Amino acid sequence: NAGVTQTPKFRVLKTGQSMTLLCAQDMNHEYMYWYRQDPGMGLRLIHYSVGEGTTAKGEVPDGYNVSRLKKQNFLLGLESAAPSQTSVYFCASTGQANEKLFFGSGTQLSVL
């Protein structure tokens, strides 16, 4: 099992560009999450999904969109990147409520 895989690992964007971050899990998990982490800060929840075809807003959803068309994939989109979105993005998944989260290794995104 690969666990939770995030692609890409690094990306540099110019202001106004768009991109999609992919999170894939091979553990048949129902719940998936996108977090961002700014330097010296804890993780903040952007969006999450409780199952295929569902998404919901977290703490800091503005400027991001998500889709969960397949159970194993959770996509995070930036339609018009801004420098404030420079951050490390982490994806996580879990099978049941109360279970531990499995995290990916992160995507370092810089918006110039």
Partner 1 sequence: DAKTTQPTSMDCAEGRAANLPCNHSTISGNEYVYWYRQIHSQGPQYIIHGLKNNETNEMASLIITEDRKSSTLILPHATLRDTAVYYCIVRVATGATNKLIFGTGTLLAVQP
Q: Return residues touching partner 1 (CB under 8 A).
A: 4, 31, 33, 35, 40-45, 48, 50, 56, 58-59, 88, 90, 92, 94, 96-106
State both tokens at 81.
């990147």
Q: Minimum Å distance from CB 82 to partner 1? A: 22
Min separation Cβ 43 and partner 1, Å: 4
CA distances from 88 to 47, 95, 103, 109 (A): 15, 24, 13, 6
In the bound state with partner 1, the residue whose beta carbon lies nearer, of 41 and 112, is 41
Phi and psi of 64, rounded to 5°? -125, 150
Whole-number Å distance between alpha carbons of 71 and 86: 28
3 or 83, CB closer to partner 1? Answer: 3
Least Cβ distance, residue 50 to partner 1 (angstroms): 5
Min CB(8)–partner 1 separation in Å: 15
CA distance 34 to 14: 22
